[in-house]
Amino acid sequence: MKDFNSYLNETEEIGYVEQVADAIIYVSGLPKIKPEEIVIFETGDFGQVFSIEPETVEILIFSKNPIKPGTRVTRTNEILKIPTGYELLGRVIDPLGLSIDTIKPMKSPVKTMPVNIRPAGITKRRTITKTLETGVLIVDLAIPLGHGQRELVVGDRKTGKTSFLTRTILNQTARGNICVYAAIGKKKLDVKKIEKFFAKQGVLDKMVIVASGSEDSTGLTYLTPYTAMTVSEFFRDEGKNVLLVLDDLSTHAKFYREIALLGKRFPGRNSYPSDIFYAHARLLERSGNFTTDKGEASITCLAVAETAQGDLSGYIETNLMSMTDGHLYFDKDLFYLGRRPAINPFLSVTRVGRQTQDNLRREITREIMSFLNLYEKMQSFVHFGAELNDNIKMTLATGAKIINFFTQYTNDVMPLNLQIVLFSMLWGNLWGLGQLTKVKDDMQKVIKAYQTNKLVKDQIDNLVTNDSFNKLIGIIKVEGPKLLKTIQANEK
């Protein structure tokens, strides 16, 4: 962008700072100012028009540099745009598109895109038909997601939400998709940890991190998710499937509340402004499955929200639930019981994920949810001990194996075909009443063989071509023991 004097000569309009209220600056003058226009102060700082009053203009400032009353301001006749391009891959940028990492200097992208645009209309959207694999067993098998879905990831602090998100990013980058991670109001140390983690995993060059720190201005933090969405839209227009993670919108809502209160907006519930729903809805509505000039492409949005004491009825949480296509609830009680991930399948919802499944996976999802429901009911009979009948004992034993099967730790990612075959082996009672450790050890051997032995991989992938779960179980009962023997023989 040009300097203050250049813009002043172009627009021939000048204003003066009348009042400063932290992130909000009140300016007089500038008679032809437009909503969302960028203004420049004589100090070189930029801001965006937040609202226009009869006598003054409210400006949202993007820097923390102190602005004094009397400072001159001029229009730029431009809206906020950020540089976008493949040059952003592997970089950490701020909400204005400037590199903030310590890697070599970034080549500035040639193309720029507006940060705030209207969501695409219905004619450019397509039905969500492709499954998005997260690599997380309980999600892929019981609460499936689709490319272009907007899913809320909700739960208390420290319940494993970030582990799930990083695992999903690793799985998607391995499939050649682009990932955009928005770190909203995070500490610099946390952003650095995220950058180092993905660099260590070798996937940083397939993703973009848009970060604002707790030390940045309120206005800059507010912009973060919108910038991340704009970056995602660039790659979508290039024909890429994009996974966008917004971490987190609860923090974003608090910053927007601060801006609104400074701007003397009338406070509503929990002191949030009346348009907080609109602020998030216009953001999330920009994701979906689209038709582009380069074919069908999608933006899958995983929006994070933080609950307090497991309360799902909070204002921001319920707002986000109503504007997304489902939610994954990370239950603190399950987390304390040692479940990893601590996703509660009964309180989690996917509204479009099941339409992406074929008949086999749909049957598996139905069986899992039905059995888990039965297993939860049977838990109340555990205290009867030896008095339990054989059916209840079998249900409890199978349930323990399935819960153990769903347990995954950080970076443990599993392909969908392998998930289906392993679950079928478990469901077909291939291990009988074997110990959980024996079952887990055998499964780890199958996973390792799938990753390293092409013959085993092809054999497992061919099993999943069946369109019926019952047929697959019948085949697994015959082929499963042979598969285990082959793997054990190869180990020797």
Q: b/e map of 304-332 (b: 16 or more CB within 10 Å)?
A: bbbbeebeeebebbebbbebbbbbbbbbb
User: Does the active-site annotation cover 175?
Assistant: no
Tokens of 156: 């208390």
* DSSP-derived secondary structure letter, 343: B
The dihedrals phi and psi of 484, each to the nearest 5 degrees, come to -65, -40
Sign of the Cα torsion 97, 80, 183, 236 reads negative
* Tokens of residue 491, six digits: 């180990």
Return the bridge partners of 81, or none: 114
| Residue of 125, 282, 340, 351 with catalytic role | 351
Burial 119-139 (b: 16+ CB within 10 A, else e): bbeeeeeeebeebbbbbbbbb
CA distance 313 to 304: 15
Start-to-end Cα distance in the chain = 66
Instruction: For CA atoms 163, 165, 166, 171, give the dihedral sign.
Output: positive
Q: Which of 406, 382, 385, 383 is nearest to 396 (CA)?
A: 382
- Three-state SS for 180? strand
d(CA 170, CA 187): 23
Helical H segments across 272-314, by residue range: 276-284
Residue 335 · residue 342 · CB < 8 Å = yes
Measure the CA–CA gap between 282 and 116, rounded to whole angstroms: 9
Q: Under a CB-based contact definition with an 8 Å cutoff, are residues 382 and 396 in contact?
A: yes
Q: Is the peptide bond before 267 cis (omega within 30 degrees of 0)?
A: no
The rounded distance, in Å, linking the Cα atoms of 406 and 366 is 16
Q: Helix (H, G, I), strand (E, B), or coil: what is residue 21?
A: strand
Cα–Cα distance between 312 and 307 in angstroms, integer? 7
Q: What is the DSSP string of 196-262?
A: HHHHHTT-GGGEEEEEEETTS-HHHHHHHHHHHHHHHHHHHHTT--EEEEEETHHHHHHHHHHHHHH
Q: Reduced to 3 states, what is the DSSP secondary structure of residue 22?
A: coil
3-class secondary-structure state, position 157 = coil
Helix (H) or strand (E) holding 478: helix 469-491
Catalytic machinery residues? 351
